[in-house]
Amino acid sequence: MSVLSPAPRAAALAAPKRVLLVGNPNTGKTTLFNRLCGLRAKTANFPGTTTDLRQGRMQVGRPGGASATLEIVDLPGLYSLELDLPESRVAAQAFAGADGVAPPAAVVVLDATNLNRHLMLVGELVARRVPFVVALNMIDLARRRGLTFDLGRLARALGAPVVPVAARSGEGVAALIAALADIVSGAAPPGVAEMPRATDEPLEQWAERIVVASVGGARAVGAETDTMLDRLDETFTHPIVGLVIFHAVMALLFWTIFALATVPMDLIETIFADLGGILEARLPGGAVRDLLVGGLIGGVSGTIVFLPQICLLFFLITLLEDTGYLARAAFVMDRLLYRFGLPGYAFVPLLSSHACAIPGILSTRLIPDRHDRFATILVAPFMSCSARLPVYVLLTSFLFPASPALAGLAFTGCYLLGAVAAMGSALLARRTILPGKSRPMVLELPSYKWPSLRVAFANALEQGWAFLTTVGTVILALSFVMWWLSAYPKAAPPAAAVALAAQAQELAPSDPQAAASLVEESDRLALRHQQEESFAGRLGRAVEPAFAPLGYDWRLSIGVLTSFAAREVFVSTLAVLVGAPEDGDEAGVLERIQSATRDDGTPMFTTATALSLLVFFVLAMQCMSTLVTVRRETRQWRWPLLQFAWMSGLAWCGAFLAYHGLHALGIS
Amino acid sequence: MADLRGGATVRLSELAIGRAARLHAVVLEPGEACLLSAMGLVTGSRLVVRVAGDPCIVEVRSTRIGLARSVADRLQVVAEAVRGEP
């Protein structure tokens, strides 16, 4: 086998060389990528294309030889480089060296159990004269099915080294790396393939010829009748049974996320509260301390607290996808989504949007039809993302303080309202601005298998990191801005507060307890005055008329206004505005928000106000990062602007209806 | 219903579970047709119906492909004779 080759050139290789990892969907390409690059992968914009691809680095070298750094790029799974499909165009650009860096080599991942079809992609690479190594993946499975390979014959026919690997167990990966090192260093010059011509039909015959010559037992594959598999497929895609199973799986998925995520979330909140306490105690009072405790700690904890849910959702989605179930579920959803003008391909993007709309929107890239894709992008932010959770938690607990069950039901209602609004908007869009029917689903169904924890873990880490770097920075910046807006300009304490403080001083020797409560009251008055006079207070009053019909006072208005940048700042904004207690105790904050009063002394939150706010937050487009992402993906400002106007308009109307509807029913 | 003796051209969606057929013609937009061909569903290729209905699941070589009913409606196939039939 060509893995055994002379020692590589001893030239030190400075700049990392790019190696493209390419293969059909469901060949275990990503598992192999993780084997090669470990967990250090990042998703980055690929130069010369507008697509984010997973990239990772690895060292290759042999004992006594030079080592080189390789940049491995994980191309999306594709059937052919020449199709008019997004993934094919991206891969073709990468092979052409669209950014001026032509790849010196490629690793083609083939499914050993299905060589015929997968070899067609190899034929295209041969035609492009890219040196490559063939990773004959799932070799363990192929052996179990009774397939035998004449590797030497196969390597000669393809003009490239062929390394049998099992990416899931790690078998053969070392040999693959060695073969790759030889190709990249030029130690193993590519052979000459028995070349096909470049149109489809001969390529198929070429693949067939090679398989007949070098694979034994091929007749056994595909001839077996797997009734178990048929039964599972039939059950999972059944119009009724399939739908029931789908809902059960989704309920389990979200229940697991909520049940498991609370532990790390509570831990994160406690750690940051302690950290704030320590800083508060150690640092001298003043603007710097306020900035660190109020702005930085508040902002960072408000960002990181979402991480457990996002990571968990992606971990579980990846696990589900790996089992092969999601491909079947996509057909169940296709029947439903089709009625609203969305393709079945939109299912995974919409599911991911429940964690965060940004990765959801990015994953729409693999939706083949442009109108289908734009419709999906438009409605994805209606899905209740994890940033809405704190607001849902806050408001549903205000609505039903005595009944956690009803609060839970209201919580579920929020998710449902978002999904219904999404479907309705999609239907409207397909009748107006994005006319046409969605493209019917054609999807390869991967075989069922045990999911790989390793792949799921890697993906969860990657998505979490992407969230921190893109969204986290925005939230952090906004927390600073909000803190500054509410802290400046500094206002002198009002006369009433000064009088109370003086009174307290007089009382202090005789009745320290009464004095302390007077000081507290004085501080509260001073803080409230400060808020009213601050930039945030003035801004809140300016926008109050727009939100007054929904039942919001200036504080709630400013809360809503700031959450247009990122909705997760709503709770922290209110906490700042109603004045958080010194120890930063979470329960204390929520109680204070709930019992906060308006300027006229009436409660800030009534049932009608809470419901109106809840509806507003379900429907409104309140995420700058998503808008920027939509602009980047659609390459036009009109789509994010339309999305913003439509969602926020709908939110205003929905909140108005909720508020006045409750009033009409006699509930205020 | 599909002709049990085979030979006649029928829609893929009309075939029952377990029937084997050869793809005869594809009445689809070029974009959809090329995806099918990349998956191995080219004119003349042999397929076996694994699940009938919506989706229609066919096996081509050892690949399972799910097809929405509207796609299966527009694939013309020539059914192979069922074993035991002339």
Domain presence at residue B35: yes
Contact A314, A308 (CB under 8 A): no
The DSSP string of A640-662 is: HHHHHHHHHHHHHHHHHHHHHHH
| Residue B86 within any structural domain of the chain | no
Separation between Cα atoms, residue A48 and residue A641, nearest integer Å: 27
Question: The complex's ipTM?
Answer: 0.89
Range of A298's domain?
Answer: 241-387+402-431
pLDDT at A589: 63
How many angstroms separate the CA atoms of A323 and A153, rounded? 34
Higher-pLDDT residue of A99 and B17 is: B17
Q: Do A361 and A507 sit in the same domain of this protein?
A: no
CB of A444 within 8 Å of a chain B CB? The answer is yes
A315, pLDDT greater than 50: yes
Q: Is B16 on the interface with A (CB under 8 A)?
A: no
User: Do residues B58 and B9 lie in contact, with contact meaning Cβ atoms separated by under 8 Å?
Assistant: no
Please give the sequence-ordered ranges of beta strands (E in DSSP) within A399-465, or none if there are none.
442-445
H or E element in which residue A290 lies = helix A287-290
Stretch (H or E) spanning A70: strand A67-74
* Position A99 in a domain: yes
Return the amino acid letter for A119: L
Q: Amino acid identity of A136?
A: L
Clarify whether residues A511 and A659 are in a common domain: no
Q: Is residue A322 part of a domain?
A: yes
Residue A226 covered by a domain: no
Q: Which of A163, A108, A99 is nearest to A130 (CA)?
A: A108
Tokens of B24: 């005869």
- Check A79 against B38: CB less than 8 A apart: yes
Number of residues assigned to chain A:
668
- The predicted-structure confidence for B16-31, as pLDDT tens digits, reads as follows 998 999 999 888 887 7
Contacts of A224 (CB under 8 A, 6+ apart): A145
Could you give the 3-state DSSP secondary structure of residue A148?
Answer: strand
Q: Do A344 and B65 touch (CB under 8 A)?
A: no
Q: Are A659 and A553 contacting, i.e. CB atoms less than 8 angstroms apart?
A: no
| High-pLDDT (> 90) share of chain A, % | 23
Residue A208 contacts B, CB cutoff 8 Å: no
What domain count does chain B have? 1
* Amino acid A597: pLDDT: 79
pLDDT grade for A337, boundaries at 50, 70 and 90: very high
Expressed as residue numbers, the domain containing B69 is: 9-79
Identify the helix (H) or strand (E) that includes residue A71.
strand A67-74
* 3 state DSSP class of A197: coil
Nearest chain B residue to A239 by CA: give it.
B54
| Mutual angle of helices A227-236 and A325-339, in 10-degree steps | 30
Cβ of A270: how many Cβ atoms within 10 Å? 12
Confidence of residue A433 (pLDDT cuts 50, 70, 90): very high
3-state secondary structure of A253: helix
Residues A106 and A144 both lie in one domain: yes
Q: Identify whether residues A31 and A167 lie together within a single domain.
A: yes
| Cα→Cα distances A454→A31, A173, A522, Å | 8, 16, 57
Q: For residue A133, give both structure tokens.
A: 């190594």
CA A158 vs. chain centroid, Å, equals: 39
Residue A262 and residue A202 share a domain: no
Element (H, E) at A366: none
pLDDT at A22: 93
* Closest-CA distance of chain B to residue A21, Å: 19
The pLDDT > 70 percentage for chain A reads: 86
Residue A291 within a domain:
yes
For A73, phi then psi, to 5°, come to -110, 120
CB-based contact B42 A201, cutoff 8 Å:
yes
pTM: 0.78
Cα separation of A83 and B37, whole Å? 10
In a shared domain, residues A77 and A200: yes
Q: What residues contact A651, with CB distance under 8 A and at least 6 apart?
A: A615, A616, A617, A618, A619, A620, A621
Q: Is residue A4 part of a domain?
A: no
B85 domain-assigned: no
| Sequence-distant (≥ 6) Cβ neighbours of residue A592 within 8 angstroms | A575, A578, A579, A580, A581
For residue A219, what is the DSSP state?
Answer: G
Instruction: Report yes or no on B54 lying in a domain.
Output: yes
Q: Is the domain of A559 the same as that of A595?
A: yes
Domains of chain A: total: 4
Residue A84 to residue B34, Cβ atoms within 8 A: yes
The CATH number given to whatever domain includes residue A206 is 3.40.50.300
Residue at B4 is within a domain = no
Q: How confident is the model at residue A583 (pLDDT cuts 50, 70, 90)?
A: very low
Residue numbers in B near A440 (CB within 8 A): 32, 67-71
| Nearest C-alpha in B relative to A220 | B62
Determine contact: A344 vs chain B, CB below 8 A: yes
Residue A504 above 90 pLDDT?
A: no
A527: number of Cβ within 10 Å: 18
Say yes or no: A284 and A345 in one domain: yes
- Domain-embedded: residue B68: yes
Is residue B2 a part of any domain in this protein? no
Number of residues in chain B: 86
- Asked if B65 and B39 touch (Cβ cutoff 8 Å), the reply is yes
Cβ proximity of A207 and A123 under 8 Å:
yes
> What pLDDT band is residue A189 in, cutting at 50, 70 and 90?
low
pLDDT given for residue B5 in this prediction: 56
What is the token pair recorded at A196?
């096909």
Residue A64 binned pLDDT confidence (cut-offs 50, 70, 90) = low
A118 and A71 assigned to the same domain: yes
User: Which strands sit side by side in the sheet containing B20-26, from one edge to the other?
Assistant: A442-445, B63-67, B56-60, B46-51, B20-26, B75-79, B9-11
Cβ A489 vs Cβ A537: under 8 Å: no
Question: Would you say residue B1 lies in a domain?
Answer: no
Whole-number pLDDT of residue A12: 40
| Chain B residues whose beta carbon lies within 8 Å of the beta carbon of residue A335 | 54
Between CA A373 and CA A380, with CA A378 as vertex, the angle to 5 degrees is: 90
**CB burial of residue A327 (10 Å; 0-12, 13-18, 19+):** buried
Look up the CATH number of the domain holding residue B68: 2.30.30.90
> Are residues A426 and A552 part of one domain?
no
Identify the band that residue A529 occupies on the pLDDT scale cut at 50, 70 and 90.
Answer: confident
- Residue in chain B closest to A369 (alpha carbons) equals B31
Give the pairing type, strands A148-149 and A215-216: antiparallel
